[in-house]
Amino acid sequence: MKTRTRGMQKATLARKLKELAEASRNGLHCRWMHTREMPGSGTRTRLACEKTALDELHLMSEAEHAEFLEGWYRSDVKLILEQVALDRDKTQRAAASIGVHHPTYRQLDEAAVLSTDLVYVTERGTTHNREARSVRSRRSGPNGKLTPSQRIEQKTWENGGVPYSVVRADGMHAPRSKNLAWIFRAYNDTVGRKLSDAEIAAQREMLRLVRRREELRVIDACRLADQALDLPAGSGLRAFRQLAGARRLAFDLDVQDPLDVRLEEIWRPRCDKQHS
């Protein structure tokens, strides 16, 4: 639990608990904290995504943004919940069982509501599971050591049979995070709409070039696609990003510049066979 969230006012707590209870009765997800409620918390991000249970995700830090992108890219992750509030009775029992003091709100004689940053709902065949993620920056304290609140979270989730892990991310500074954000933006723009004829043609041409294993860099192949089909400049590049976001093309996400990757280093995941 973050220190700045302990100053909850009584009326605010009552309202939020009421909203949480109402959502629970209706089988809906209700995030515990919104980005607007976290002043001075650094870089916060709101974004829409087809895998969110609500209209948009409220990510409280760049570290959460980086971990969200990892979950989004995983094909087995079908739903991403953020700021998931835990039942106070359960967290208090968990705290007592491991001998850890349960956090309280300042000025209120109330146990604090603990929340977990991200929860993934996964699907493998006919099996559905959940994975709880507590996200921290690599600069926020010693590695491998859980805070008291994290220990309570962990015990609460594990009591319910849900695996819990603490993820440390280097914000959005790592090449992998930047590359995931790069392809996410292009792919996310295609969700909920029909692709234009030019977009479909550009994607087909990029797939054809990759199949031929031309000795070209990605940037050269994108330009070649634009010229071959007389498309507006940038169409091939946008198609490459869309295909990578849809996991119809894949590349080493840890590279510094994906535009310098050679086509022979690009591969087509097995799930793309249905699109061939």
Which CATH number does the domain housing residue 22 bear? 3.40.1350.10
pLDDT at residue 6 tops 80: no
| Same domain flag for 216 and 249 | yes
Rounded to the nearest 5°, which phi and psi values hold at 205?
-70, -40
Q: How confident is the model at residue 7 (pLDDT cuts 50, 70, 90)?
A: low
| Same domain flag for 149 and 211 | no
Asked if 152 contacts 94 with a C-beta cutoff of 8 angstroms, the reply is yes
| Same domain flag for 212 and 160 | no
| Sheet strands (E) in 69-188 | 77-85, 115-124, 127-137, 164-169
Please give the structure tokens belonging to residue 103.
């956090």
Give me the number of domains the chain comprises.
Answer: 2
Query: What pLDDT sits at residue 39?
Result: 63
Residue type, 226: D
Domain span holding position 214:
175-275
| Same domain flag for 98 and 193 | no
| Same domain flag for 179 and 231 | yes
| Same domain flag for 89 and 154 | yes
Query: What pLDDT sits at residue 270?
Result: 66
The long-range contacts involving 102-109, CB below 8 angstroms and separated by at least 24 positions, are: 102/152, 103/1, 103/6, 103/148, 103/149, 104/6, 105/6, 105/7, 105/8, 105/13, 106/6, 106/7, 106/8, 107/7, 108/8, 108/10, 108/13
pLDDT at residue 141 tops 90: no
| Same domain flag for 165 and 202 | no
Which CATH number does the domain housing residue 255 bear? 1.10.10.10
Query: What pLDDT sits at residue 140?
Result: 63
Query: What pLDDT sits at residue 57?
Result: 87
pLDDT at residue 276 tops 90: no
Q: Which of 149, 169, 189 is the last residue of a domain?
A: 169
| Same domain flag for 142 and 204 | no
Q: How confident is the model at residue 27 (pLDDT cuts 50, 70, 90)?
A: confident
Higher pLDDT pick, 224 / 28: 224
| Same domain flag for 212 and 146 | no
Q: Which of 125, 142, 169 is the last residue of a domain?
A: 169
At 115 the three-state DSSP class reads strand
| Same domain flag for 92 and 221 | no
Q: Which of 169, 196, 220 is the last residue of a domain?
A: 169
Query: What pLDDT sits at residue 40?
Result: 59
| Same domain flag for 133 and 106 | yes
| Same domain flag for 135 and 230 | no
